[in-house]
Each structure stands twice: as C-alpha cells, then as structure tokens.
Chain A
Amino acid sequence: MAPKETRIVTKFLHEHPDDSWTIDAAVANGAYKSLRKALTEMTPEQIMNEQVKASGLRGRGGAGFGTGQKWSFLPKDVFPRYLAVNADEGEPSTFKDHMLVERDPHQLIEGIVITAFAIEAHVAFIYLRGEFALGADRLERALADAYARHFVGNNILDSGFDLEIVLHRGAGAYVAGDETGLLESLEGERALPRIKPPFPAVQGLYAQPTVVNNVETLSTVPHVISRGGEWYAGLGVNRSTGTRIFSVSGHVERPGNYEVELGMTFRDLIEGLAGGVRGGKQLKFFIPGGASSPWLLPEHLDSPLDMDYVQNDLKSMLGSGAVMVFDETVDPLLVAWRLSKFFAHESCGKCTPCREGSSWIERVLYRMSHGEGRPEDLDLLLDFGDNIVPGLNAPFAQTTICALGPSTMSPVVSLGRWFRDEIDERMRAQAEPTATKVLIR
C-alpha cells in the first residue's frame, strides 16, 4: 500500500489553500473551538496533566523535550510568567514552521492562548524569523482579527482570562533560535545563549519563569484539546507519539512538507511520499533531522521515524524534522564544508571551542573539498573535534553553552563514520605532486 500522510496540523491549510490564513475561513472550519473548550471546561492543571502530558507530545523544535513536562517545571506562585513562541526557524533545510505561520496563523494563535492559559501567563511573545516578511504580515493581520473577536486580549470569550500577544521580529541570527539566545534577543541584546541552569522555566525572560515552545508544538495543542490527550497518545510509536511534519528537500522528485504518523520508515517518507531520488539516480546519503544531525546511509532507510530509535540506535537525531536527500553525484566533503561554513558564520563567539573550532573546521574542510587537502586532514579534524565534543559519540557531550558548538561536529563525525575510505583515497591523490599550494585560505 502506498504510504500516506496523516494530516492533523496541516489538514486545514491543505483543504483551504486559497484562504486558510483568514479568520473567516479558519473560524468556519472550527478554529478557536478548542480554546472555548479549554477555557470553559478545563482548569490549567487539567490541560497540563490530563491532556498535554497524557498526549506524550514532545517539542518539535529540535530537542524533543516533553511539552507538558516542560510546563510543569514552572515554579509555583512566581508571577508574572511568560510564553515565548519560537518561530525563528533557522535550522538549515527546515521549512515547516514557515508554512504554519504563513498558512495557518490562527491555529498557532489558538495554541498560544490555550498554552498561556495552562501556564498562567498573561503576555506571550512570538519571536518570528526576520526574513519571514509575508509571515509577519499574515500573523499581524491574524492577531488583529483574533483580538477583534475576543480570542486574544482582555476577558477572552468572557472567561476572565487575559492575554496580550506581541509579535516580535528577529533580524537574522540562527543562534537566536536557541531558547536562551531567543530570550536575550527579545530583551534587545545580541542573541548570546545563556548558561543553564537557571533554565528558562525558572528564570527566563526578564528573569521571570518562561516557557519557550516551537510553532509546530503549539500548533498541535488545539488538536490535543479537541480530541483528547489519550487519542493523540494512540498515534505514533513508543515515546514518539502523534504526527510530525517533515521537511524533505534536496534531490527528491517532490520536495515539500509531509505530516506523517511517527513510526513510518524513512523509506516511506523519502521514496513513497517525496517520490524518491530525482532522475533515477541512486541515493548516496541523507541527513535526517537538520544540519545539526549526523548523517545516515541508504542502509538506514528502513528505520522508523522514532526519536529515541534514531538517537540511540542510529546515533543521530530527528531534530527539527528536516530530511535532506543527496544523490550519488554529491560530494560529501562539499556538503560538510558548506554546513561547517554555516556553523562558523552563526557561532555567537561566546565559547572558545565553538568560536575557534567552527572556523578551523570550516578552513580544513574548505581545502579538503577544493582540491587542496592533505592525507592527515580527516584525522586532524577528528582530533580537534574531540575538544568540542569529548569522545565524539552521539548523543554529543557538550563543552559549550548551547548545542550549536557540538552540532559543528555532526558533518565531521559523519565523514569519518561513512566516507573514510573515499576521503583517504582522495586526499592521498590531492597531496601527491605538492606544488606550492595555498593550504589555508
């Protein structure tokens, strides 16, 4: 049987491609019904425990932390509390939140209001990636319409609950997607991540208890409320409950976002839904969860989209849900170099291993991928990489303040794991008649 999507979060935007972002279309389709249900039939504790915790929903931003569990870390009786919505989507090749913001802003707003009610926050900030201009327009419009219909603002739907939602546009910085970098940026600073603890739940925005959640996570919440945590927990596999949106790109016939029940195989996603490798070519490798995740090979295609399986058995991660597919013509060194250039560019510079390491890796990978490598280069990379990620074993140990530092090693570790023979041979050939080459740019 041909594999199928299971559309929950993306159902409405697919069914109403011409106006899904308007309040009339959204409300006609049942938007904000879950909000009414939550505000009139449930207490914050019930939402947190009986619905969201029971659903098994885990964060869709990258780390996969239990959503209800995260909310429950808020210290009792400390107010005000804030909700920060992570709409900064900068993980290379991830483009699902972008779609959710542009094409279903009311679903997101509904999820925000329910979540704010559950965590007893009265101000929420949406940190939207600066480059999402259309997203900003649509979200701004959607917020104004939602305020006008009393879905946001004071005394929402006569429940007595008040919530302000502030749309805050970023300005170009991947590291502002890290939850503490995001909070710094929201405070008007450079987006330098903070040392944890204290965690944001305890001391976040303006040193107050703060929950940071991803757009897809929050867009799922209304569905958990309307159909119940238990229903959601019945979808998916093991501790990866429900559905996730995977952004599939690179050398596939049909690149795009696919919402599938967790537990589907990579093969069904890549070959079944995305149409497989373009032009009848062979698959060389794929990256399963954004630039920060270690790479996988064709032999892993029959593995399940299960967050724990991918982490424990495949030593990678489902991360942000970005699946990048590369055919047999692709030079893995070139891909590794380009990703390392990204990390070097985006490193905020606060931690030495990341600041120095990322640019060293970039320079060595540059020469390796541009015909100027040396036979010892791969070992050199792994050797100083060990100072960034001691042991070089996934899940990566962290010597730095945020996870960007260790992420720089994902391409390098992958080269060592899967392409050593190919690279050794090439480096020996490159090194042969060593003319006076410029070895470092």
Chain B
Amino acid sequence: MPFTDANVIKARAIIARYPHAKSAVLPLLHLAQDQDGWVSRDAMEEVAALLHIEPAQVLGTCSFYTMYKREPVGRLVVSVCTNVSCLVNQGPELLAALRARYAGDDDVFVEEVECLAACDLAPVLQVNYDYHGPVTPDAAATVIDEYKAGTRVARTVSGGRVA
C-alpha cells in the first residue's frame, strides 16, 4: 500500500530532522513496515522518491538489516533467541517447539534471532518486539495465543510505537 496521507506528513517530518535526507532511509522503512507489516517493492520505490534517490539504493540498505521483512509475514513476529545465554537455558528447544506448533499458521511468523540483550530472562522471545522470558514452550504458546485472540495488544511489526 502507498503511504497514507498521514504517513506522508510523518515521512516529511522525519526527513526534516536530518542534515542529509538519505539518513531517513531507516526510519522511513520502519514507517512503511509499521503501516503494511512488511516492506514491499512499492514501498521502497516510494521511499526512494521521497528522498530523491534510486530505489536500488533503498533496497541496498534495506536488505542489510534483519528487521525489515521483504516478504509478507504474519501479524505476529515471534523472535526467539538462541545465542549462548539462551542456548544453555533451553532457547533452541523453545524455538523448535514454537516452529512446530505454528508451522501452518499464517498469522504467526517464528524466527531465530541473535542475542536480544535480555539474557537475564533466558530463554527469551519477543512477540512483535515485546519481551517475554523466561518462558517454557507452553507458556510461550499461551502468550502468543493471547496476542492472536487480541486479549493482549501487539505492537506494529517493526517494533514501532504503541499509543
């Protein structure tokens, strides 16, 4: 989807914060992902147009960073850490259990991630960038299902603002 009118205004305000417009690439990609749940080709072209640069430059930057999803993902991005403090606290087992449980679920995208800087809570996961830990696979599934049912409010996908 193209940026909504409100987001075009936001985008222009973001660009104005920087001495050089190209610095706004990351924030504008976050804005696009907040709006659509992922970053489409069209969104990259629109960001390029707003910044007066080539779409390939936006893609070049976008494709370097793991948070930007260049294909549609579910409403819920579940990021499970398996780096070493979680490794020795059943992080990989948590990842495997959630992958199996949500294998056919289009709403839930389970990904393996590097250290989330919350290792005292190991094993740690995020649901749309909200932290949960330490969690067993069953406790994690309960939490994820609450987000699915709307009894917990999830952030927009890029980890951007809540209210």
Contact = CB atoms under 8 A, between A and B. Distances in A.
B87 A338 contact: yes
Interface residues of A, number: 60
A172 B66 contact: yes
Interface string B103-128: 00000000001111111101000101
Which one of A94, A338, A345 has the highest number of Cβ atoms from chain B below 10 Å of its Cβ?
A338
A187 interface: yes
Contacts of A322: 119
Which one of A93, A98, A291 has the highest number of Cβ atoms from chain B below 10 Å of its Cβ?
A93
B159 A249 contact: no
B19 A206 contact: yes
Nearest to B116: A131
A44 interface: no
B22 interface: yes
Interface string A89-120: 11111110110000000000000000000000
B72 interface: no
The 4 A-B pairs of least Cβ separation, nearest first, read A172-B66, A171-B65, A188-B25, A133-B129
B83 A342 contact: yes
A89 B82 contact: no
A374 interface: no
Contacts of B84: 92-93, 250, 287, 291, 324, 335, 338-339
B65 A93 contact: no
Interface residues of B, number: 48
Interface in A307-366: 322, 324, 326-327, 330, 334-335, 338-339, 342, 345-346, 348
Interface string A130-145: 1111101100100000
Nearest to A98: B117
B114 A342 contact: yes
B17 to A, nearest CB: 5
B118 A130 contact: no
Interface stretch (A162-170, A230-238, A388-396, A398-406): A162-170
A134 B116 CA distance: 13
A415 to B, nearest CB: 14
Given A171-B65, A171-B68, A249-B119, A187 B29 contact: no
B67 A95 contact: no
Nearest to A336: B84
Interface in A173-198: 173-174, 185-191
Contacts of B117: 89-90, 94-95, 97-98, 129, 131-132
A255 interface: yes
A95 B61 contact: no
A335 B61 CA distance: 31
A21 to B, nearest CB: 15
Given A190-B60, A251-B88, A170 B26 contact: yes
A123 interface: yes
Given A171-B67, A173-B66, A188-B25, A206 B20 contact: yes
Contacts of A66: none
A93 B160 contact: no
A241 interface: no
B54 interface: no
Contacts of A330: 88
Contact of A130 (B65, B114, B128, B131): B65
B78 interface: no
Contacts of B22: 187-189
Contacts of A248: 120
A304 interface: no
B61 A188 contact: yes
A247 interface: yes
A324 B61 CA distance: 33
A416 interface: no
A191 B64 contact: yes
B15 to A, nearest CB: 11
B18 to A, nearest CB: 7
A441 B25 CA distance: 36
Contact of B23 (A132, A172, A186): A186
Given A133-B130, A255-B122, A334-B87, A189 B20 contact: no
Which one of A171, A256, A326, A327 has the highest number of Cβ atoms from chain B below 10 Å of its Cβ?
A171
Given A94-B115, A255-B85, A339-B83, 7 more contacts: A93-B83, A130-B67, A130-B159, A133-B160, A166-B17, A342-B114, A342-B115
A123 B19 contact: yes
B38 to A, nearest CB: 13
Contacts of B29: 171
A142 to B, nearest CB: 14
10 contacts: A95-B119, A136-B161, A164-B17, A171-B65, A188-B22, A250-B89, A324-B119, A326-B88, A342-B114, A348-B64
B160 A136 contact: yes
B65 A324 contact: no
Which one of B17, B85, B113 has the highest number of Cβ atoms from chain A below 10 Å of its Cβ?
B85
A93 to B, nearest CB: 5
A32 B144 CA distance: 41
Interface string B8-43: 000000000111101111110110000000000000
